[in-house]
Amino acid sequence: MKKALPNLVNRPAWWLLAEWIIDPLNLLQKWAKKYPDLFTISLAGIGDEVIISNPEIIEEIFNKDAKQFHIGRGNQIIAPLVGQNSLLLMDGERHKRERKLLMPSFHGERLQTYAQQICEITEAVASQWQEGKGFIARTAMQKITLEVITQIVFGLREGERYQKIKPLLAAMLNLTDSPLRSSLFFIPFLQKDLGYWSPGGILKRYQLEIRELLQAEIEEKRHQKGEIGKDILSLMIAARDEQGEPMSNLELKDELLTLLFVGHETTATLLAWAFYQIHRLPQVRQKILQELDSLGENPNPMQITQLPYLTAVCQETLRMYPVIPIVFSRITKTAMDIGNYHFEPQTILTPSIYLVHYREDLYPQPQEFKPERFLERQYSPSEYFPFGGGSRRCLGYALALLEMKLVIAKILSGYELALVDNKPVKITRRGLTLAPSGGIPLLLKSKRHPQASSPEKTVTLVP
C-alpha cells in the first residue's frame, strides 16, 4: 500500500527544527533506526522533508531528469549570503547554462595549474607554526583554504583589495560559527536588517563592502589587455554561453560569493578531521609517509594526487565526517513513484549522505576510521556520495580533493605534529556545515626538514 508522506515523525515542527539546528546527526540517527529506508520530518518554517537513507531510492533520484524537480528553490535560506544569481538557487536551463560556464575552470588541465599554488600556500601557512607550540587545526586549515579561494578563484594575490577582502570574508563566515548563530539561516526573521548590531544588519554591511571590492576587481579584470589570467574569475569573465553572451557583473559577484561560501569551510573542516585521524592512528600516518617517500625527493604534485593510500584516507574522511549531512533537497514537480513509495507534487526529497555513509551493510563498523575499505571495494554513486549526485553534483569536488591530498602530503612530509589530547571530538554545527567541536588542537613537535620553514616562493599572508 503506497502512502503520501511516509513514516511521518510525530513531534512538533518547532521541536524538530530546534533539534535539526542543535544536533542534526542525533536526530537523523534516531529516526533512521526506526525507519531504515526513509522518514518524514516536519521542520517549522521549512516544511515536511522526506529524509532518505536507502541507496536504491537515492540512485533513482540522482538518475532522474533534473527537470522533474525544483532544487534551487530549496536553497533559498542561503540567498542572504550568496545573492539571488547564485548557481545554488537556479533551476532548469539557467542552471544548465551557468554550470557549463563555470565547469571548465574546475576540471582537467586547469586543475594542474592550481597544484603548485596550493603547495606554496600550505607552506606559507605552516611555516608560521612554532615548534613546541599548539594551534587549532581547523583555524589553520581555514587559513589555507581561504587563501586558495582568494588566490585561485578570485585571482587576488596582493595589493590593497586583497588585504581588505580576506578579513571581511572570514568575518562574514564567522557570523554563523556556532549552533546558536547558525539560526540565522533557519529563521528568516533574523536575516532582516533590524539595526546596526542585529545579525541581519551586520551581514548586510559585510555583504556591501565585499561586493564593492569584488565589483572593482571585476571591472579591472574586464579591462585588462593581453593574455587571460589563470584564476577562475578571469576564466569566468572570458566564458561565453551558447548565444555568445558573457556573465553579467551581478552574476559574477553572486557566483564568487557562492564559491567562497561552499568551497572553503567544507574543505577546511574535512582537512581538520583528516589530521585528527592521522594523528590518532599512528599506522595511518606511517603508511602515508611511506607512500610519499616512495616518490623520492621533490615529487611532482600531480604524482602525489595519484597515491592510492592517501586517496583512501581522503575518501574515508569524507565518508565519516559529513560536513553537509544531506544533499540539496529535490522537490517533486509532479506526482512520482520511486521504489515502493508514491510522492505527491511538492514533496521535499532529501537524500542523507550521513545516513548512507554509516550503513552497517555497506560500511562494517562505520564508527571506525578504515581507509582500507576504499582499497578493497568500489562503492556506487548512491552508496558513497560526499559530493552529492546527479545534475547538482559538487562543482568543486576535484579541486577539493586536490587540495586535501596536497595539504596533507605537504604538511606530513615537512612537520611532525601530535594531538594535544586524546579525547574523542564531538561534531557541532557551524552555519550550514558540521565541524569538530573545539577545532582539534594540534602541537608542532618539530619541523621534519630544515627547508620546511623557508618556502622557495614567499606567499604573503594577511594575519
How far apart are the C-alpha atoms of 118 and 86, rounded to whole Å?
26
Cβ-based burial of 242 (10 A; exposed 0-12, middle 13-18, buried ≥19): exposed
The single residue among 74, 199, 325, 396 that binds ligand HEM, judged by CB under 6 A, is 396
Residue 323 lies near ligand HEM (rule: CB under 6 A): yes
What angle, rounded to 10 degrees, do the helices at 92-102 and 249-263 form?
A: 80
Of 258 and 315, which has the nearer Cβ to ligand HEM? 258
Tell the smallest beta-carbon distance from residue 391 to ligand HEM (Å).
Answer: 7
54-60-64 Cα angle (round to 5): 150
Q: Residue 311 interacts with ligand HEM (CB under 6 A)?
A: no
Among 42, 267, 305, 311, binds ligand HEM (CB under 6 A): 267
CA gap 180, 349 in Å, rounded: 26
Binder among 16, 81, 395, 411 for ligand HEM (CB under 6 A): 395
Helix (H, G, I), strand (E, B) or coil at 391: helix
Binding mask 270-309 for ligand HEM (x = CB under 6 A): x---------------------------------------
Please indicate if the annotation marks 314 as binding a ligand: no
- What is the identity of the amino acid at 66? A
Stretch that binds ligand HEM, among 36-44, 113-121, 336-344, 381-389 (CB under 6 A): 381-389
Backbone angles phi, psi at 206, to 5 degrees: -60, -45
Contact pattern from residue 91 through residue 130 relative to ligand HEM, giving x for each residue in contact according to CB under 6 A and a dash for the rest: --------x-------------------------------
Which of 85, 207, 266, 352 forms a contact with ligand HEM (CB under 6 A)?
Answer: 266
How many angstroms separate the CA atoms of 182 and 171, rounded? 14
Q: Is 310 in the site for ligand HEM (CB under 6 A)?
A: no
Cβ 304 to ligand HEM shortest distance, Å: 17
Nearest distance in Å: CB 341, ligand HEM: 20
411, three cell numbers:
604538511
Site for ligand HEM, residues 77 to 96, rule: CB under 6 A: 87-88
Q: Is there binding between residue 399 and ligand HEM (CB under 6 A)? A: yes
For 289-314, b/e burial (b = at least 16 CB within 10 A) is: eebbeeeeeeeebeebbebebbbbbb
Strand order in the sheet with 415-419: 134-136, 441-447, 415-419
- Residues at the site binding ligand HEM, with contacts judged by CB under 6 A: 87-88, 99, 258-259, 262-263, 266-267, 270, 323-324, 327-328, 386-389, 392-396, 399-400
